[in-house]
Structure 1
Amino acid sequence: MSLEAEEMSLVDHLTELRRRLIYVLIVFVAGLVIGLFVAKPIYLYLISADPAQGFVLHAFSFWDGIGMYMKIAMAVSLAFSVPFIVFQLWAFISPGLRPVERSAALRYVPYVFILFILGIAFAYYIVFPMALSFTISITRSMGLEETYGIAEYFSFLFSLVIPLALLFELPLIVMFLTKLRVLNPLRLRRMRRYAYFALVFIAVVITPPDFISDFLVTIPLLVLYEFSVFLSAFVYRRQLAEDAQREARYIKAQES
């Protein structure tokens, strides 16, 4: 291939990448607009669910209410955007994949949204109330008067829920990489101690600075990793069976 052809190919790839980034930006902005319309009912639901254990939320600046609406709108937009981002990524790299890899990647796209929603539900209904209950109990045991701002409350909420929802994609990523034969359960088991260290580090970074939040996020991440190893083993066994069948057919064809 000539240098000019290679340069044109690079320009074409960059043009394609820019086009798909524009699509992602359009979907994100559209999701943000939708999120602004549904922010109030979502806010009312979050307050009526009362994980805040009865305390009153306060606004300490004129922008707290707007900031809360924007946080909710961004969460809604992210829920819409994540599957679309994955699909656009697949569409960008699919020309370089083999047909089996292309079909495997496309099958996994719908599950991105499902796992993201499951991650949000788990983080909000299990992890967040436990973390909030722990921090409130410590505050009350110290005899401190509780005055919580709405901005701090929702920052605490989203700092737990959104990262954990994104990390729920780990099993899907591992299954996909196993399907592409980049990973396998043997390699995942060998790197377990390093993976555990990385997951603990991630949990400490993404959670508020208290031990119980770190613990409540670390345990699900370790379980997700082990579940990913299990799924990888399932996919890997099917690959070995398919390879054995293919080899048997080849040997039979050679003999005949």
Structure 2
Amino acid sequence: MAKVEKDPNEMSFLDHLEELRWHLIRSTLAVVIVGCVAFVMRGFIFDTVLFGPKNLDFPTYRFFCNIATFFNIESEFCGDKLPFTIQSRLMAGQFSAHIWTSIWAGVIIGFPYILWELWRFISPGLYEKERKYSRGFILTASLLFFLGVLFGYYVVAPLSINFLGTYQVSKEVTNEIDLASYIGTVRAAVIACGIMFELPIVIYFLTKVGLVTPEILKKYRKIALVLVLVLSAIITPPDVASQIVVAVPVLVLYQISIYISKLVIKREAKKEQKNAQ
């Protein structure tokens, strides 16, 4: 017998839970499949990707070194290697790191599919016109997420690793970084920036439901500026240039979010005028 499609409007609470369960199962399966591929590609994932920011021939370090050389300024980005080593102090430390890194790689690479499954679950409760924007929403959200991931990997992670890996309270203390701690630093920078770059999407939906307006965003822009600068000071080396490099994209995203909020308000106003007529 053919499977009968259920009307979303007539589905019970348990039916919705069943639908959510299958969306979660498919998303998890996608993460596992991509994670298995990442697990097999151990050399590339660890030696090239994760340990890339540990070497001073990393593109970010070369970029800042070239700038310093151009202005004839001595820079810590110019050198042979960073003065710290990575070690694993647990019996299963390397294997555990391998497993969890593969899983997180599956989450990051499989983000568009996970987002699509989420959209499939919530889209039946939307109007027909709103469903037409599904492809654009998934594409835009995925693009912003991967831009954030790249920003975190090529900017935030190397700046953090360079500063924290070379920081010393005394020459008597050598930096021997635990493998889990190093991977956690890279992972946090990448995922945090990926989520942070979703700000315009979040503002769009918050404006849609009436929780945010352009006026509110403009009113708290100075507070947002201070918070961004504080965040930049925490995750970057203590120099003005690095903090600006991190802060500028976030402020640009905030300004774009204000513009998006204005567009949403204008569209809603036009819809109200048409309905009134």
TM-score > 0.5, shorter chain as reference: yes
Superposed, 1:95-244 pairs within 5 Å as 95-139=124-168, 142-143=170-171, 144-178=173-207, 183-190=212-219, 192=221, 219=247, 220-237=249-266, 239=267, 242-243=270-271
How many residue pairs get aligned? The number is: 238
Q: Find the partner of 1:43 among 37, 43, 46.
A: 46
- Cα deviation 1:77-114 (Å, max 9, x = unaligned): 11233222221222112122111211223321122222
1:149/1:106 CA distance change after superposition, 3 Å: same
Superposed, 1:29-108 pairs within 5 Å as 29-46=32-49, 47-51=51-55, 53-54=81-82, 55-108=84-137
Look up the match of 2:29. Answer: 26
2:170 partner amino acid: M
TM-score (norm 2): 0.69
CA–CA separation in structure 2 for the residues paired with 1:45 and 1:181: 45
SS of aligned partner of 1:111 = helix
CA–CA separation in structure 2 for the residues paired with 1:250 and 1:119: 42
CA–CA separation in structure 2 for the residues paired with 1:194 and 1:31: 40
SS of aligned partner of 1:57 = strand
1:24 partner amino acid: S
Q: Does the 8 Å contact 1:131/1:216 carry over to 2?
A: no
CA–CA separation in structure 2 for the residues paired with 1:243 and 1:91: 25
CA–CA separation in structure 1 for the residues paired with 2:87 and 2:11: 57
Structure 2 unpaired stretches of 5+: 1-8, 57-80
Q: Offset of 1:25 from its aligned partner? A: 1.8
1:68 partner amino acid: A
SS of aligned partner of 1:148 = strand
Q: Does the 8 Å contact 2:155/2:246 carry over to 1?
A: no
Match status 1:14 vs 2:42: no
2:136 partner amino acid: R
Q: Offset of 1:232 from its aligned partner? A: 2.4
1:50 partner amino acid: K
- Cα deviation 1:165-223 (Å, max 9, x = unaligned): 1221121222344456664323433455776788789x59xx779988xx689835454
SS of aligned partner of 2:54 = coil
TM-score (norm 1): 0.74
Structure 1 unpaired stretches of 5+: 1-5, 252-256
CA–CA separation in structure 1 for the residues paired with 2:31 and 2:158: 29
Q: Offset of 1:126 from its aligned partner? A: 0.8
Q: Offset of 1:12 from its aligned partner? A: 1.8
1:173/1:38 CA distance change after superposition, 3 Å: farther
